[in-house]
Amino acid sequence: MKNKRNKTVLISFRLTEDDLANLEYLRRRDETRSAEIRRIIYDAWYEAAKEQDEEAGHPRISDRFNCL
């Protein structure tokens, strides 16, 4: 069996003090910055995918997940 490598993608951000203050404002209690950034990115992806599906006339994303 081949040894599969653990592929990790690291991304870094440079934030201004204002950006950091906005990020802190959005952070939920007991949420790390990393978890917060992942949540924000996922929420943006979900909204974009939902909008794209609605424009194309496909069923809502939640409907497709519920059908599985």
Residue 12 within a domain: no
Domain that holds residue 58: 30-67
Residue 9 within a domain: no
Residue 56 within a domain: yes
Total domains in the chain come to 1
Q: Predicted confidence band at 9 (pLDDT cuts at 50, 70, 90)?
A: confident
Residue 45 within a domain: yes
Residue 60 within a domain: yes
Residue 20 within a domain: no
Residue 38 within a domain: yes
- List phi, psi (to 5°) of 44: -65, -40
The tens digit of pLDDT for each residue in 16-60 reads: 999 889 989 989 899 998 899 889 989 898 888 888 888 888 766
Predicted pLDDT at 54: 82
Residue 3 within a domain: no
Predicted pLDDT at 67: 54
Q: Which of 10, 12, 14, 36 is nearest to 23 (CA)?
A: 36
